[in-house]
């Protein structure tokens, strides 16, 4: 369609370059060819006069995919995975014991990081080894990586260490990406006992009540009565011998199905946990 441009004054050679790009791309149907020569992708565009123009390609990386997923890698003979979470400028690394973090940006198909900072809790030897590995992988270097998002439910992120050894992390979509919002933080107490309830069909529901915390950490109940909870809290497994207080992120579900709730709760962390003895019959 019509080519629209800003109107700054430029050097003569750049003005000529603008005139060229206008003559090629203004209101045109352009034949193109895409080829690959020695790993270099070439785009050939033929203008209205039949003149061919050669553009060299550089692989575009969708960094949105990095931030839309949590990335897990389970080293051999370990109980806990290494989990990466990318935000706009921070990379958070959960090692199974301590948490590590650094800044990141993408340059020339690499993830460029700064110094890796870490909390300093004592861990069992296997987890200490895992921390050393993740630190060496992301400590102040340009990390070559490959993203495969063909399977949007389980994409892969492959990173290479300094020796060229590759490690593949599997992605799980973050709730923020899934529900397209930041979510609201809510605290819920979950009772050990469940109760029969009826939704679309007869089922069993958890019992919950919302908790509020003031600035000093003192908790109060929004309602001391238990409410039936229809559905599930994502990431939480109910156990009949435990009373728990959960911090959840609550998201609005856009265009929910007829039998679906208009909100979704995702477990953020377990705040309190208490074993409860079952009464003797």
Quote the pLDDT of residue 103.
96
The side-by-side arrangement of strands in the sheet containing 40-46 is 32-37, 40-46, 52-56
Domains and CATH numbers, the chain: 30-59 (no CATH), 64-173 (2.40.128.270), 179-275 (no CATH)
pLDDT (tens digit, 9 = 90+) per residue, 100-123? 999 999 988 899 999 999 998 888
Tally Cβ neighbours within 10 Å of residue 68: 19
Mean pLDDT of the chain: 90
Q: Residue 115: what pLDDT? A: 96
Contact indicator for 79, 126 with CB cutoff of 8 Å: yes
pTM value surpassing 0.75: no
Q: Is the per-residue pLDDT at 258 higher than 80? A: no
Task: Report percent pLDDT > 70 for the chain.
Answer: 96
What is the predicted pLDDT for the residue at 37? 75
Instruction: Name the nearest CA neighbour of 47 among 17, 18, 25, 27.
Output: 25
Chain-centre distance for alpha carbon 238: 25
Tell me how crowded residue 133 is: count the other CB atoms within 10 A of its CB. 17
The CA–CA distances, whole Å, from 155 to 69, 74, 165 equal 9, 15, 20
Under 8 Å between Cβ of 106 and 61:
yes
Contact 171, 156 (CB under 8 A): yes
Report residue 17 as tokens.
Answer: 């370059």
Reply yes or no on whether the pLDDT at 280 is more than 70.
Answer: no
- pLDDT above 70: residue 279: no
Q: What's the pLDDT tens digit per position in 50-99?
A: 999 999 887 666 678 899 999 999 988 888 999 999 998 899 999 988 99
Residue 281 pLDDT > 70: no
pLDDT tens profile 166-210: 999 999 999 999 998 889 999 999 999 999 998 777 889 999 999
Residue-wise DSSP of 218-251:
-EEES-SS-EEE-S--BT----TTEEEEEEEEEE
Integer angstrom CA distances of residue 37 from 55, 58, 61, 108, 165? 13, 13, 20, 19, 27
Q: pLDDT tens, 229-249?
A: 988 999 999 999 999 999 999
Rounded Cα distance, 184 and 193, in Å: 26
């Amino acid at each position: 369609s019509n080519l629209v441009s800003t109107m700054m004054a430029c050097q003569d050679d750049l003005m000529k370059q603008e005139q060229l790009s206008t003559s090629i791309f203004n209101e045109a149907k352009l034949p193109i060819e895409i080829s690959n020569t020695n790993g270099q992708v070439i785009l050939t565009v033929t203008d209205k006069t039949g003149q061919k123009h050669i553009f060299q390609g550089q692989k575009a990386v969708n960094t949105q995919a990095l931030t839309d997923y949590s990335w897990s890698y389970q080293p051999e003979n370990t109980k806990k995975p290494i989990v990466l979470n990318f935000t706009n400028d921070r990379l958070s690394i959960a090692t199974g014991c301590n948490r590590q973090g650094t800044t990141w940006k993408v340059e020339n198909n690499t993830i460029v990081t700064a110094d890796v900072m870490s909390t300093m809790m004592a861990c069992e030897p296997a987890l200490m080894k895992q921390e050393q590995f993740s630190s060496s992988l992301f400590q102040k270097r340009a990390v070559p990586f490959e993203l495969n998002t063909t399977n949007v439910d389980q994409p892969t992120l492959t990173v290479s260490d300094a020796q060229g050894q590759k490690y593949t992390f599997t992605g799980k979509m973050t709730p923020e990406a899934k529900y397209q919002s930041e979510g609201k933080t809510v605290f819920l107490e979950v009772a050990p006992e469940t109760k029969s309830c009826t939704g679309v069909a007869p089922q069993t529901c958890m019992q919950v009540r919302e908790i509020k915390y003031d600035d000093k950490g003192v908790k109060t109940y929004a309602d001391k009565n238990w409410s039936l909870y229809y559905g599930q809290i994502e990431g939480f497994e109910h156990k009949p011998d435990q009373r728990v207080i959960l911090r959840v992120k609550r998201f609005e579900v856009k265009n929910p199905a007829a039998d679906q709730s208009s909100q979704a709760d995702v477990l953020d962390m377990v705040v309190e946990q208490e074993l409860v003895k079952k009464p003797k019959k």
